[in-house]
Every structure is written in C-alpha cells, then in structure tokens.
A and B are shown apart, each in its own frame.
Chain A
C-alpha cells in the first residue's frame, strides 16, 4: 500500500507537531513534578506546621479557684457546684419544641429562649449553648430523669464562685466577675479568654487574684475542619489556686453584722498581741454573689444612691476625725514631754480662751477640777486644751504616728486610705499658712485636720493595750502552704510603762468608774471586762448662735447632720488581748451610739476566746484581787 501523496504532507507535519506537543507535555510534567518537589520537600516543614495547627486545638482547662477560709477553716469563699443545662443544637430537630418540653420542668424565660436561639444560629451546631444555670438540685434531678424526652438537652455540673456569708464579707473578700476588656489588655494570661473564667474585682479576690487563680491546665484535642473534637491527644491538669487562710473569726464577724444592723457603721476587732484582725466590718454591705452573676441597673442604682453608702468600705476607706478618742494620744504626748504633771489639776468652767478665741468643753457647765485621770474619764476638753498650751504639734504628730495614724497597712484589701496627721510643715506646704495655737487645741481633742480610719483607731487601741509593741494588723494568715510573715520586726513603743498605765487606767475609768463617759455601757459578767474611750465628731460646726440657744439635741437633727459616734477599747482590762474600734456614722455621741456596740462585741469576743474560756476562773480571781488591791 502506498500513502496518498497529500496525506504524506499531512502525516509529516502531524508527526513533527506531535513531537513538539510531546516535548511540551514532557516540559509541563517536569514543571508539575518540580512544583510538587517544592511543596513537599522545600516548603514541607512549614506546611507540616500549618497542618498541625489545623489539626490540633489547645483547650485550656479552668483551674479551681483557691478557697478563702477563716481562722478556724470555715469556708468564706468557695466553689460551689453550678447545676446547669446546655443544649446541643444539632441533636434536636426543633429547638423550640425541646425548650417547650424543658419549660414543663423548669420555666425557661422568653429572654433565655431568644438568647439560646441566637447563639445556636451563630455558632456551629455541635457547640453546646447554656440554657439555664444555678438550678436547684430538685430541678436538676427532674431534668436528668426526663432527659430521654429532651433531645439535645444535657444536664451538666460546673463550678461557680460562692460566698456563703453573702454581704458579711463583701468588703473583705470582694467578688469575682467576668474579665473586662481592660483586664484582658493588662493581663495576658490566656485563662482570661475562657468564657467561664472569673477574675477578682475587689477585696482580697482582687489583691491576691494571682494566688487564687491557679494555673490553667491544657487539653490538646484533635479537631476536624469544623472544630468538632475527634479525640483528646494529651491532657495536663492545671494547678488549682492557693487557699487563703484569714485571721477572721466568722462567728464574730456574723455577730458584728447582726449588731450593726440598720446602722451605717464600721467595726475592727484586733488581737493586741499579734495584730490578727478578728473582725473587720463595714455596714451596710452588699451581696457579692449578685456581682458575680451580674447586677441589674436598678440594683446598682440602689446601692449607689443608698445614703448609708454600702459600696464604701468604711473600715479602711472612710475618713473621720478621731474625736475624743485621740485624747489618749494627747495625754501620752504630754507625759512624754515631761512638761505636765498628771496629778496637776486644771479647772474646767465649760470653756477656755486662747488669745481672743473661745474654746468650749462639751459639758457647758464645766467639769470643775480635773487631773489627767479624770480628764480622760470625763473626756474634758478644757483639760486637754490646757495640755495643748504646753506641748507642740510636732510632738503630737510624732506620738500619733507611733500609734499607727496617718499610714496604711496593706492588709490585702484595696482602697486603704492613709488619713492625715497634721503637722507644722504639712500646713505650711499644703495650706500655705503657719500653724497656730488654735490648731493645736483642735488637734488635741481629735478635731481639726486630723483624719483617721476605723482600722487605724483599732491599731491605736491595740498599741495602747499592748503598751510595749507597735503591733500591725494582719488579715491574711497564710497563702497556700506559706504563712504570711511581716517583713520588718515589730517595733517597740518607746513609752514609759508608767505613762502607758496612766492612760490605760484612764480608759478603764471611762467604762468602769461612775461618771465615766461610757460607764453606762460597762461590761459586766464573769471574767469579762473592758476599757475604752468615747469620741464624738461634730459633722457641722456649732455656731455661736446655736451655742447661745443651747445645743440642739442630736435626735432632733436630720440624720446627715448628727454627730459621728466613736469608741475605741480593749479587753480584758488586765492582760489585754483584744482591741476594738467602733464608728457609728451620724449615730450621735460616742457614749450613746458606739460604746454599747463595742461592749456587746467585746463580750462576744471574750466569751469565744479559747484562752478566756479555759482561764475563766483564773481571770476572775485576778481581776477580783486587783479590785481589792486597787485604790
């Protein structure tokens, strides 16, 4: 056979061009192989990493937050079970029908239903959506029993922060809440990203948040492209937060709050030997559990507009003139200056003069002849004005500072205020005016520029009671296994025991000698005794006119203009163990408003004191023999 000549041309061209195409094909295949080499060999490491990132999802496990315990191990802040139900949208055909069925067991509010449906529409259908939280055990059990009829509904046990004592520790422990954007900016701990994580927002929860928080665990899970977990690859449990042990006695704390009910007040009870705070209470307070769950606007407004200011921790952030409680410091300053003989008597006619200014005693008719003992016992202003003539402000300043005023203690609660002990230099620097004698007069009776907190006055009372050591307050006894020790050694008080005793005796007289300003509130009972000093702080200046008309009784004034009542004290009177400071805002005078509160609390404290329980009989004997031997 022979080929058509024309077909021969076609065949030749065809063959040539087929060769070109074959060559091109070879080139293209080589190119594809080269690309494959590039991706699978040259860039392989990078793609392997990306593949692993794709595949493995690291999930943080929320650590259990550390508990907060009182001195006897009672839970003050704990993690309770949070019984909740979640809905997995992909497991039910009809979310509405499922929720309807659930409503027959527990009522699901309409707003919850909307939220669940919104969440279900937004995220992948296998991600659980929380329907209800904080269910009762009974509700939870009923849902468990009925769960076969509730497709997609899963009862779950989670953890939530719980404050069993509600408002009674609100100012001490504070509360936790979801981290804000600001929290997340400042703190890069990945835990903050977790939806169930809570951060300390106030109180000890805030200050010691890092200790309480613990370390996150991690679970590495293999996920598919939709984020569904296929299996767990590895799991590292985190470390739970450290427990805090406080110096508080919850029984006392409870008693204090019950006693302060209906008043705007603050109480601090301290151990005068080691500074342990037995109770620190600012009333009224708020329920921290409500903050944890989220507060409604009306609840928030209610707290903010309350005239008793429940949101302010008055024990450390409330600043008040110390009033007559400060006379103890004035007396000590005078004794130390050695310009004053405590037995020297001063006549009180109800007022005294400094230059052209008149200074009044609280008792209009005057106290008559007063020595130091009676001056303290009667809280006679004129007597202390007389001391003020002899001593200078800088000596008072020094003494006040030694007894703990004008400084903070960092007991662990944020917002502590230092207050103010005025001095010559301070007035010059801040006011631009020289210190004058009238300023010393005012300071000597605890008025004027002086500003103190209930905590500071408790420290002052504790140091007076202790007499030898400048004890500092302590609230956190241990963090985790570590006992909190103070950095610096306890300083000794450079006060002659004889002077100390004079002031203590004066305070004993206030409560225990007829005529003492708090004699009406004296503490009686087997082995129970206490001493103290009242204080009254005028909220508004008494004008000349008012004084001429006769001072208006406190009860007749509007609440906001009534005097603040102070009381500081210690007990028992021999070998003192506990110091107390009580402030009752606008409660009237210290002897009427604060002293009874202090007495009731001290009775409770002393009764509960294990030492006083075992040594009850001994204590009684000692106090009796002293009474017999005393003047």
Chain B
C-alpha cells in the first residue's frame, strides 16, 4: 500500500489516520502510566491525594494531547518547528527575569493559567528544530563544519540558558539528545571522535563552573557511604530501600523504607526505588522491559518512515525518553550522581508528563504519516 499525496499536497483523510494509528503503542504507554498512578497512590500511604489523582487527570489530558498531536500532519509540525523553537527560547529567557523559584533553581514560568517549565518544553522544541534543520542538509553536508555550525548554535543557546537556571541535568539531557540526533543524521566518525574528546575536555573545564551543590552531588555519588547522614543520605537510603526489596519485593503498599519516609523525593525522582522496594527485582525488570519495548517501537517507527524529518523527530523524542529512563534508574541505583531527572510516565510532575505525551504524539504522527515523502528543500506545509 502506498500513498500518492505529494509534497505540500493533500492531507490523509482523518479516518485513514485513525486506522493507521498504532494502538498497541498507546496501550503500552497506558500500562506504564498506570504503574505511575499506582505508585503515587502507595507513596501517599494508600491515598489518591495529593498525587495519584492529579497524576491521573494529567495522564488523561496527556493522552488527549497525544491523539491531537498525532492527527496533525507531520509537515505541519515541520513548518512549526522553527517558530516553536523561537517561542520556547523566549520563554526560557523569560525565566531569567520572571521565573519562579523552585528548589533553589529558577525553572518555572507563570503564564497565568498554568505554570510551565520552559526547559521541559525545550526538549521537544529542540528535537523539532534540529530535525527541521538536518532534513534540509544533504548527506555529505552533515560532515561539513560550515553546515554543522548552525545546528550546534541551535543546541548551544538553550543549553546555555538551562545551565544558568541552574539545571545541570536538563542541559546535559538536551546536549546528549541532540548529539544522538546528529549521530543518526550521519555526521562522520571523525567528527564524532573529535566531539567525544571535546566533551571529555569540556567536562573537566565545566567542573570549575559548577555550583557547590552540583559538585557536592557528584562527589557524593563517588562515595555516598562517606557521609551517610549528610549529602550521601539520598543515595544510601535509595540503595537500602531498593536492595531490601529482594527478588519479589515487600508487596504493594508494604515498602517500609518508602512508607516511613526514609526515602527522599519518593514521589518524583526516587519513585523507581519505591517501586522496586515493593515489587522487587521482578517488578523492576518488568518495568524496564516495558520501557524497552516502547523504545523498540520508536526505532521501528523511524525505520519505516519515508521522510528524514519524521525519522529524526521520532528518534529524537525516543532518545530523550531513553536518556530520562537510563539517568533516573542509574541514579537511584547509585550508578550516576543525583541530578534530578524524573522517571518518564511514572514520576509525579505536570510539565514533564505533558512534554512527554506531546513527544509521543509526534512519534505517533510520524507513524501515521510515515508514507509521506518530503523533498529536501521543503519547508513543510506552509
């Protein structure tokens, strides 16, 4: 089956879109989301309030967002890529001046109706903008410095602002996610090697510019047992809770360490620890498996996509998703420093949930519109 809708041409009829919709992907998201709501219920010692009910509402709204975004033609998103990037960047700069403090960092922007975290939105906007730019470059161009510089600028500006908030975790996430997209775009191995070396150098230099609490987090990660009641408390308590879960866990609502508040931030960053304490190794592997299947879907979608923009958006979103999972899970198991990255679809948090569902909507849009070809010089729909 093939589609004959040309560049800038007609849209796919809505019923056909719904038929193309990948329902098993959405089902998988729902399963993981339910785990999240269930864990937030347990976090509140068996109460829907204050987290589980709100998370559920957000998740349902998120599903609606997913549907709407998926229905929109991928070329529309291509056209909106740069404007969205500019608006998000403006909000990010706005945080500098009108941001609301949260946990010692300026991350929130009050838009009257609701508060958003521009750095979260930027994760999607940057994927779109970068995909849009790479789409317009030929394969050999991707290894030309001259052609790479605009891409690097696209990445560097938001990273710089996020770093200033300061939010080391998100800025690294943006940086690595973008790097993965450029890698997939076919940047020559030589440049990949140089970039890798530069990253190591930058890490050494960047260390000097880190805030004290950020340095402390890294140092604590190196040896949490050296200061069990101070900076190492979070990691140590997380390992105790997780390790004491054993193979089958202590049972739902029975996680003593989490229920008795030994575990910090258990509704956000450390929710995986709580989950693993209550459901053990088995539960942990099931959740990781679900994530893995979801990621596999993403790669499958991108493989079947006939336009470069769609492929890049799909992998870009999934790469961000992957980084979230890996950083969060590695963090709670004491493999990475505590950087404040939530577990996607499970941790409590509005903006992250919306951003993620929007991203999944884009992924689904790529799948629904996979047969559409977009010429190199196309600007999208308009």
Interface residues of A (CB under 8 A from B): 1, 3-4, 6-7, 9-11, 13-15, 17-18, 21-22, 25-26, 28-29, 32-33, 35-37, 39-41, 43-44, 46-48, 50-52, 54-55, 222-226, 230
Contact assessment for A50 and B244 in the assembled complex, using a CB-CB cutoff below 8 Å: yes
Is B243 in contact with A40, judged by CB distance below 8 angstroms? yes
A54 with B262: CB separation less than 8 A: yes
Residues of B within 8 A of A (CB): 2, 4, 138-139, 180, 183-186, 237, 239-247, 256-257, 260-263, 276, 280-281, 284-285, 288, 291-292, 295-296, 299, 302-303, 306, 308, 311, 315, 319, 322, 326, 329-330, 333, 335, 373, 375-376
Q: Determine the chain B residues whose CB is within 8 A of the CB of A54 once the complex forms.
A: 237, 240, 256-257, 260, 262
Instruction: Please list 10 pairs of residues, one from A and one from B, whose beta carbons are closer than 8 Å in the complex, sorted by A's number.
Output: A1-B306, A17-B183, A21-B184, A22-B296, A41-B247, A44-B244, A44-B246, A51-B243, A54-B256, A225-B261
Q: Which residues of A contact B184 (CB under 8 A)?
A: 14, 17-18, 21
- Bound: A113/B51 CA distance, A: 41
A13-B186, A33-B285, A35-B335 known; A224+B260 contact, CB < 8 A: yes
Cβ contact within 8 Å between A21 and B306: no
Chain B residues near A48 (CB-CB < 8 A): 243-244, 246
A36/B284 contact (C-beta < 8 A), A14-B186, A21-B183, A51-B241 known: yes
For B2, B240, B241, B315, the residue with the greatest tally of chain A CB atoms inside 10 Å of its CB is B240
A contact face: mostly helix, strand, loop, or mixed: helix
Docked-complex contact A40 and B308, CB < 8 angstroms: no
- Give CA–CA (A47, B184) in the complex, Å: 41
Residues of B within 8 A of A25 (CB): 292, 295, 322
| A residues near B296, Cβ cutoff 8 Å | 22
B246 to chain A: closest residue by CB:
A44
Docked Cα-Cα span, A22 to B295, in Å, equals 9
Residues from chain B with a CB closer than 8 A to the CB of A37 are 281
B260 touches A4 (CB 8 A): no
Chain B residue contacts of A13, Cβ below 8 A: 139, 186
Q: Once bound together, how far apart are the Cα atoms of A51 and B246, in whole Å?
A: 12
Once bound together, how far apart are the Cα atoms of A51 and B296, in whole Å? 36
Docked pose: A6 CA to B376 CA in angstroms: 9
Interface SS, B side = helix
* B280: A residues at CB distance < 8 A: 40
- Would A41 and B295 be within 8 Å (CB), given that A6-B376, A224-B262 are in contact? no
Q: Are A32 and B246 in contact (CB under 8 A)?
A: no
Q: A10 to B292: give the CA distance in the assembly, Å.
A: 26
Tell whether A35 pairs with B240 under 8 Å between CB atoms, given A10-B185, A48-B246: no
Contact between A36 and B185 (Cβ–Cβ < 8 Å)?
no
Whether the pair A3, B306 counts as a contact (CB closer than 8 A) is yes
Contact A18-B243, Cβ < 8 Å, known A10-B186, A39-B333, A225-B261 = no
The 9 closest A-B pairs by CB, nearest first: A47-B243, A51-B244, A13-B186, A224-B260, A225-B261, A9-B139, A40-B281, A225-B262, A39-B243
Please indicate the chain A residues that have their CB under 8 angstroms from the CB of B306 in the complex: 1, 3
* Contact A39–B260 (Cβ < 8 Å): no
B376 touching A7, Cβ below 8 Å: yes
Most chain B CB inside 10 Å of its own CB: which residue of A18, A22, A33: A18
Given A25-B295, A51-B241, A225-B260, are A14 and B281 also a contact pair (CB < 8 Å)?
no
Known pairs A21-B184, A29-B291 / 20 extra A-B pairs, C-beta < 8 Å: A4-B375, A6-B138, A7-B308, A13-B186, A14-B185, A14-B311, A15-B303, A17-B186, A25-B295, A36-B281, A40-B242, A40-B247, A40-B284, A47-B244, A48-B243, A50-B244, A52-B244, A55-B262, A225-B237, A225-B263
B3 to chain A, nearest CB (A): 8
**Residues of B close to A230: CB separation below 8 A:** 260
Q: Is the CB of A47 within 8 A of B242?
A: yes
